Structure 1
Amino acid sequence: MCDDELIPPSADMTEEQWLRADPALAEGPVGERVRAMRAPRRRAVLGGVVAGAAALTVLPGGGTRAAAAARDGKFPLPTAPNRSGEYAVLLTGDAGTGEEAQHAVAAAARAVCRAEGVSLAVGLGDNIYENGPESDHDSEFRTKFEDPNSGLDFPWLMALGNHDCSGLIPGSGGDPSRGDREVSYAKGSPRWYMPSRYYNVALPSAGGGDPLVEFFAVDTNPVSSYVAQLDPHYRWDGPYMREQRRWLDGALKASRAHWKIVLGHHPYLNNGKHGSAGSYDGFVIGHYTSGIHLKELYEEVVCGRADLILSGHDHTLQILEPTTRTGGTRQIVCGAAGKAGDGRAHFGHPATWQNFSDHGFMVLKVSGRAMTVDAYTVDVATRTARLAQSVRTKSPVRSAAALT
């Protein structure tokens, strides 16, 4: 093993270790942002099963328009907040099994989405298990995406997962070029939104001016694959990743959105069994499996600039705390829409709430005043959702450093 492939033993430090290594990080603008983002504005939610009757609720602020547009072929991106003055966004990840659990989660989500006025969804990768699609017209797009999500009639911002880019080994992420099939499929699907392998989408404020929220979808596979990339284009230091990094850096700098949200399949921090970037699955050497270069991307380009990192990969539900390590950026892991976790935490990153056993999804609500994340667990047998946790963050205080 070459020396330049060795990774420092701090690849997955705890927050306490991080602060001991550089106590000054807790002071100044970074500390101020962390304290603002972590202010106690969360509430535990007890009970609250969402039953099928909620499916009769009229979708506020745009249901008719979306249905009409679907007849023209594509569900449109929302053009204004709903009647509550916010954008409500469904979050799912690791959904694409085509099995009963996926159908149950989608059925439970339909009821919640109608009640909450959801007009957009995010799919956080592993969209087509186990090997990804074999072509841009593979029947698995229908059985593992369109059919389960029938009735969730709005655009889905889709990200590529390791199973979408399988090589010879299912889930290896060893053939990123397979992701092009999902980009191509988006041209003909009313729901699937993926104009390119990485992209950004800004949603306008009610009164015009700067966007209220902007999403930045990234392709994490070339720097988090279980095998080395053989195609030079997709090497960790190849032209594809260099260009994606330049794009993300420039797009975040240029964005004037009130809220900035980065979504990518592999998480930066994670308390589930896959672990965090830099030491995925216990690996701490090499350029790929550990995710060391994704860790660099998150830390050098995203942390402190974005309000949220949304990820899947781990089949769990986690709302982690904004910390000094993240520069005040909150990590969300939402990968339990098709598979569930092993029932226990493997790491101890500060968390507001986490669940390692149940299937589920989340709903993100953003307005000019606040951002709320509602986490739902789903009983697969009854296809009902339970609101398990709601976390609210007031509008961010932007420092000059956060905008550069």
Structure 2
Amino acid sequence: MALFGTKTVPDEEVGLLQPSVGMGRVGRQLKINFVVSVGDNFYQAGLKGPNDPKFQNSFSKVYTARSLQTPWYSVLGNHDYLGDTLLQIGDALTKKDNRWFCDRSYLLKHNLCGPSHTGHCHKFVEFFFIDTTPFVDKYWSPEQKRTFDWRGIGHRQTYLDTQLEKLNSGLSSSSATWKIVIGHHTIRSLGRHGDTHEMVKQVLPILEKLKVDMYLNGHDHCLEHIKREDSTVHFVTSGAGSKSFQGLRQGKPEDGLQFGYDGQGFISVSMAAQDLRIDFHDALGHKLHQLTLHK
């Protein structure tokens, strides 16, 4: 999970009893504008139908803090593809809880000008949400293909080519102050799953060529910040909302691991015209690591 806000506030001590309450407390401090969920929204195998109790038990009845009653922008993870994907990206769940929004790939623009600003705002951030599960070859093997809900994808390569062209075109034409790409699968990671080689080969060159500031993902159940010498992109993993303690490889200096945490937690992001701050929190909301970018 990632909490996004445009107001930076002084640090406060946070001591809480459960992760959802920790998120609520940090969300209140930051006066967040929205929340991002980086996939695998419903374990273990997505949702089985519109009345599946997991939607209430894993979402509506969990994130009840006042600060979390704000839009939630989600992408699909591989576990979501084991259930009814069309349900998650349709409007039936939004009718049950109006915070919910999920789609395969989409663009979100958020202005960074303050309320006192008059006229057109020239400072903004753009979020490019992408659907990463169809990129992974093993999910299309004869053994696994029939367990995944590929409805709506059509011909795989055509779908991937269209998504890559859309990402390339959107980033090329963007004049955003900050460009952030969000997907479920890792690109760079020292967690249990590690790098997703199909993403490294097909998506990473676009991110580097078009100077994306950050790629945010889940999939590995940990918190990570990776910045390699051979890449301009900051890689942030925030997949510690559920399973964790699955191990982190020590890696080599060239792997660029700036921070890694194997326990449960989440991140918060404070955005401004010149600065973008990412705080890594444990399940209780305590700060573990901070990354600040400047423009």
- Percent of counterpart pairs with the same letter? 23
Question: Is the aligned partner of 1:213 residue 2:132?
Answer: no
* Distance change >3 Å, CA 123–CA 144, structure 1 → 2: same
The equivalent of 2:3 in structure 1 is none
Q: Aligned with 2:164: secondary structure? A: helix
Q: Aligned with 1:150: secondary structure? A: coil
* Conserved? CA contact 1:371–1:393, under 8 Å: yes
Q: Tell me how far apart the structure 2 counterparts of residues 139 and 211 of structure 1 sit (CA, whole Å).
A: 41
Structure having the higher Rg: 1
* Conserved? CA contact 1:123–1:157, under 8 Å: yes
Q: Tell me how far apart the structure 1 counterparts of residues 153 and 208 of structure 2 sit (CA, whole Å).
A: 24
The alignment's TM-score, normalised by the length of structure 2, stands at 0.83
Letter in 2 for 1:154: T
Letter in 2 for 1:125: G
How many residue pairs align between the two structures? 266
* Conserved? CA contact 2:134–2:156, under 8 Å: no
| 1:122-164 per-position Cα deviation (integer Å, ceiling 9, x unaligned) | 1000000011011244321111111111121111110110100
* Conserved? CA contact 1:261–1:308, under 8 Å: yes
Q: Aligned with 2:110: secondary structure? A: strand
2:26 aligned residue (112, 116, 125): 112
CA RMSD in angstroms comes to 2.3
| 1:151-184 per-position Cα deviation (integer Å, ceiling 9, x unaligned) | 21111110110100017xxxxxxxxxx3221111
Question: Is the aligned partner of 1:150 residue 2:67?
Answer: no
2:279 aligned residue (374, 391, 395): 374
Gaps of 5+ in 1: 1-46, 53-102, 168-177, 279-291, 379-383, 396-404
Q: Aligned with 1:338: secondary structure? A: coil
The equivalent of 1:385 in structure 2 is 285
Higher relative contact order (CA 8 A, sep 6+): 1
Question: Is the aligned partner of 1:125 residue 2:35?
Answer: no
1:309 aligned residue (209, 215, 218): 215
The alignment's TM-score, normalised by the length of structure 1, stands at 0.61
Gaps of 5+ in 2: 1-10
| 1:308-365 per-position Cα deviation (integer Å, ceiling 9, x unaligned) | 00000000100111532x3x11000110011113243254421221112x11011011
The equivalent of 1:166 in structure 2 is 82
2:268 aligned residue (345, 363, 371): 363
Letter in 2 for 1:390: Q
* Conserved? CA contact 2:123–2:273, under 8 Å: no
* Distance change >3 Å, CA 142–CA 254, structure 1 → 2: same
Question: Is the aligned partner of 1:320 residue 2:226?
Answer: yes
The equivalent of 1:222 in structure 2 is 134
Letter in 2 for 1:369: Q
1:198 aligned residue (94, 105, 130): 105
